[in-house]
């Protein structure tokens, strides 16, 4: 079993154990959406890092949502994956701005594949919000300039940003 296959099974099981839902559906629906976006843009990642990136896609919300610790992930998947998943875990805060602060974005920028995974996650959330008519779409629109500046000011992932912007433009 590859590391990303192991991460898939493990992450789905952790979310099921906590009855964690995504818009009323099993949380794995969101995880599959993130991985599907990653597949669309995997060409942005070096060949040797692709399996790693997919593993982080599967695991990206486990610390934040599943009563899983950094050490649980480190033991199961190694320190590098644990560091990336930890970087993608929101800070403690009373609102979105406090939870996704400058320290949070700095951690993402400094962890392997974390920017790629965070942008995949945002695209999946925006696409879902667009398709379901969620009011979150407006929040994503309002945050986008800051979000992009924090994660990819050099537009290393330009095709991903263009795809994300195509959904956000529909909110105007």
Whole-number pLDDT of residue 41: 98
Q: Report the chain's mean pLDDT, rounded to a whole number.
A: 95
CATH of the domain at 91: 1.10.3210.10
Whole-number pLDDT of residue 171: 67
> What sections of 42-78 are H helices per DSSP?
50-59, 62-65, 70-77
Whole-number pLDDT of residue 167: 84
Q: In this predicted model, what pLDDT tens digit does every residue of 51-93 receive, in sequence order?
A: 999 999 999 999 999 999 999 999 999 999 999 999 999 999 9
Whole-number pLDDT of residue 40: 98
| Mean pLDDT value across residues 154-169 | 90
Q: In this predicted model, what pLDDT tens digit does every residue of 90-132 receive, in sequence order?
A: 999 999 989 999 999 999 999 999 999 999 999 999 999 999 9
**7-16, 99-108, 135-144, 147-156: least confidently modelled range:** 147-156
Residue closest to 152 by CA, chosen among 119, 122, 124, 112: 119
Whole-number pLDDT of residue 153: 74
Report whether pLDDT(48) > 70: yes
Domain count along the chain: 1
CA 93, CA 96: separation in Å to the nearest integer? Answer: 7
Q: Are 7 and 38 in contact (CB under 8 A)?
A: no
The domain of 9 spans: 3-171
Report whether pLDDT(44) > 80: yes
CA 90, CA 83: separation in Å to the nearest integer? Answer: 13
Whole-number pLDDT of residue 88: 98
**11-25, 115-129, 148-162: least confidently modelled range:** 148-162
- Work out the pLDDT band at 16, boundaries 50, 70, 90: very high
């Amino acid at each position: 079993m590859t590391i990303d296959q192991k991460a898939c099974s493990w992450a789905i099981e952790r979310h099921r154990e906590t009855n964690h839902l995504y818009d009323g559906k099993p949380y794995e629906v969101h995880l599959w959406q993130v991985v599907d976006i990653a597949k669309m843009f995997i060409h942005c990642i070096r060949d040797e890092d692709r399996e790693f990136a997919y593993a982080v896609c599967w695991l990206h919300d486990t610390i934040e949502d599943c009563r899983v610790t950094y050490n649980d992930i480190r033991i199961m998947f190694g320190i590098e994956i644990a560091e990336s998943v930890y970087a993608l875990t929101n800070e403690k805060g009373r609102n979105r701005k406090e939870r996704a602060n400058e320290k949070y974005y700095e951690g993402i920028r400094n962890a392997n594949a974390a920017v790629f995974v965070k942008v995949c996650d945002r695209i999946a959330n925006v696409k879902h919000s667009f398709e379901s008519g969620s009011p979150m779409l407006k929040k994503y629109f309002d945050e986008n300039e800051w979000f992009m500046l924090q994660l990819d000011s050099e537009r290393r992932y330009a095709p991903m940003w263009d795809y994300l912007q195509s959904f956000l433009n529909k909110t105007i």
